[in-house]
Amino acid sequence: MSQPAITLYRLQACPFCERVVRKLDEYDVAYQSRFVEALHSKRDAVKRVTGSRTVPAIVDGNTGVTMSESGNIVEYLERTYGPSAAGADEDTATAGGS
Amino acid sequence: MDLPFDVVDLGAADHPTEGEQAPDFRRPLVTDEFWEDRALSELTAEGPVLLVFHPMDGAFPATYMYNELRDRAVDGEIRVVGCSVSSPYEHKTLIEDREFDVAVFSDPKNGVAEQYDVVHDLDGMTGVAEPRPAVFVVDEERVVRYAWVAEEWPEFPDYDELEAALDEV
């Protein structure tokens, strides 16, 4: 079985991470969770990927985007996978227009 | 062990044997940096795997098994993955303490041991079961190439035999 294109780095019970999870679920986007250390200084795996040790962080293999901070991520997910995302717009335009 | 009394006999196990397909399963796989759900079949697709079932992290047989595998540099010969009922947090400590290149599946409900028929119900710990000590060499086709399962408690793998089996995959 192939892995989902999106990897979410998260910490158990971190509310900012759960916020991102809710958004992914809302848009029905598949993702693979990677749970990391509570101890900030031990999160080198995240730092190697994003340049920072903060979670949540996502790596989106669909778009090549790597991003930290839940506010940014939620905005990105809305823009990329939400109902008014570019792809969704095109579909609507094709279906409804011309 | 040469003891002046009988050790606990676990009896024969009906586990998968050489030539049989190793049951597939998906559980959180813990590395030194994070844990994520992985399936055994995903790992074997990348190459042969030594699957090591062991008692809960911290019990001396778990420590002994990893130390022996480390001393024989088995991690240089094959990808080693463990499996116990301990939580990912305990696995992280184990990986750090044993200084051995291993990733460990976390299976608190012992379902993987059930699939492999290597369950050990623990006397004196109500409601707790874990795997018997066991090792399976599984090839790229997820076929069991070598299997050893403890029939006494405690009992340790025949490491020479295991190493000989590793030379064959």
Question: Are the CB atoms for B83 and B112 separated by under 8 Å?
Answer: yes
Q: Is the pLDDT of residue A91 over 50?
A: no
Q: Report the pLDDT averaged over residues B56-70.
A: 97
Task: Choose the closest CB to B39 out of A1, A9, A35.
Answer: A1
pLDDT at B149: 97
Q: Is the pLDDT of residue A96 over 70?
A: no
Query: Quick check: helix, strand or coil at residue A70?
Result: helix
Domain count along chain A = 1
Q: In this predicted structure, which of A80-94, B115-129, B136-150 has the lowest mean pLDDT? A: A80-94
Q: Which CATH number fits domain B12-166: 3.40.30.10, 1.10.3720.10, 3.40.50.300, 3.30.70.270?
A: 3.40.30.10
A19 or A92: whose pLDDT is higher?
A19
Task: Choose the closest CB to A44 out of B33, B36, B42.
Answer: B33
- The reply to whether A18 falls in a domain is yes
Q: Is the pLDDT of residue A89 over 90?
A: no
Q: Write the pLDDT tens digit of every residue in A24-38.
A: 999 999 999 999 988
Q: What is the CATH number of the domain that holds A13?
A: 3.40.30.10
Q: Write the pLDDT tens digit of every residue in B81-106.
A: 999 999 999 999 999 999 999 999 99
- List Cβ neighbours of B54 (8 Å cut-off, separation of 6 or more): B61, B62, B65, B66, B82, B83, B84, B131, B133
Q: Write the pLDDT tens digit of every residue in B9-60.
A: 998 889 999 999 999 999 999 999 999 999 999 999 999 999 999 999 999 9
Say yes or no for a CB contact (<8 Å) between A34 and B36.
Answer: yes
User: With bands split at pLDDT 50, 70 and 90, how would you rate the model's confidence at A98?
Assistant: very low
Query: Quick check: helix, strand or coil at residue A33?
Result: strand
ipTM over 0.85: yes
Say yes or no for a CB contact (<8 Å) between A33 and B42.
Answer: no
- The reply to whether A74 falls in a domain is yes
Name the percent of chain A lying above pLDDT 90: 74
Amino acid at B20: E
Say yes or no for a CB contact (<8 Å) between B34 and A32.
Answer: no
Distance from CA of A88 to the nearest CA of B (A): 30
Is the CB of A40 inside 8 Å of chain B's CB atoms?
no
Segments making up each domain of chain B, as ranges = 12-166
Q: Write the pLDDT tens digit of every residue in B136-156.
A: 999 999 999 999 999 999 999
Helix or strand (DSSP H, E) at B34: strand B34-39
Distance CA B34, CA B57 (A): 17
